[in-house]
Amino acid sequence: MIKNDLFLKALKGEEVSRPPVWMMRQAGRYLPEFMALKEKYDFFTRCRTPELAAEITVQPIRIVKPDAAILFSDILVIPQAMNIEVEMKAGVGPWLPSPIRSAKDVDQVIVPDIDETLGYVMDAIKLTKEMLNDEVPLIGFAGSPWTILCYAVEGKGSKSFDTAKSFCFSQPEAAHQLLQKITDTTIAYLKKKVATGVNAVQVFDSWGGMLSPEDYQEFSWPYINQIVEALSPLTEVIVFGKGCWFAMDTMAKSKASALGVDWTCSPETARKLTGGNITLQGNFDPSRLFTPIPQLKKMVHEMIDRFGKDKYVVNLGHGILPTVPVDHAKAFIEAVKEYNS
């Protein structure tokens, strides 16, 4: 039994004494302990070495003490497993030397055997679970099929992903074939994570907000929903679509346990769009963590009041920034733990 199960209770919509809290990208670059490992090992070595991934996952549990851990990994391990080369270039970020640009390219993409290609992730889960010793739940995650397609086609990060979008609009058949392959791989991957021991999963649609509401319903949501349908009988599923407030009413009708909210959507709007019946997660602006601590704590309490303490998971509206002082990250977590309704 997990000793602190506030997070799982909130995902199930149960009444809680206070909302649970964790931070997207909490296992990462704002922690000096993480940076010490980053100096020694390159990015994908950290992802592929179970001992390193487990240590990085558990660091924030020791240091800032959130109510849930999220496995250190990357959304781009999926395309790597699918026969798409992905590098992490210093100063550039993700770099794909041979991006997908045609139906012929899509044919070369495989739906892999998860044990053969991503077994190292499962080994990291097992080690992490041992290190956590049932103190808090462990979250597994994947990128949405659309977000993975964005990188696979664009070949790198982008402010607008115009190349990826034009591929979808000019070659829709190839795009849907690629999206389905990514979806099938992601479902198998997340199912294996659940079987290995994660207590919930989150799907990150980081680039969903690049699409119009109509195109979102064609190229992103149907594939996310396949993942939700396949995983919801097995575990709690959180869907976080950055900039996707326009689809929240549709998402709320799915079998997802919770929906992530970014900082551009107010708590009141998010509750209204989702009908008030689903757990929401978010939505503190990551840059707001630079606010002086007394004011920061006050803002967190006000955010909880606006969302309501039940059916709510306190989080940021996107990942924590690398320059956030550790004391401010701690204060964000402490503010939630000090909350009295």
| Residue stretches of the annotated binding site for substrate | 25-29, 44, 74, 151, 206, 318
Q: Name residues whose C-beta falls within 8 Å of residue 233's C-beta, 6 or more positions apart in sequence.
A: none
Could you tell me if 142 and 79 are in contact, meaning their C-beta atoms sit under 8 angstroms apart? no
206: burial class by Cβ within 10 Å (0-12, 13-18, 19+)?
Answer: buried
282 beta partners: 261, 314
CB 256 within 8 A of CB 238: yes
Contact (Cβ atoms closer than 8 angstroms) between residue 291 and residue 299 = yes
- Are the CB atoms for 293 and 326 separated by under 8 Å? no
- CA dihedral over 232, 236, 241, 245, signed as positive or negative: positive
Measured in degrees and rounded to the nearest 5, phi and psi for residue 154 equal -70, -35
**Tokens 């956030």 map to which residue?**
324
**Binding-site entries:** 25-29, 44, 74, 151, 206, 318
- Where b means 16+ CB within 10 Å and e means fewer, 109-124 reads bebbebeebbeebbbb
Query: Of the candidates 196, 276, 181, 206, which has an alpha carbon nearest to the alpha carbon of residue 235?
Result: 196
Angle at CA of residue 192, ends 187 and 198, nearest 5°: 105
The three-state secondary structure class of 281 is: strand
Judge contact between 153 and 99, C-beta under 8 A. Answer: yes
Distance separating alpha carbons of residues 66 and 4, to the nearest angstrom: 10
108: amino acid identity, one letter: Q
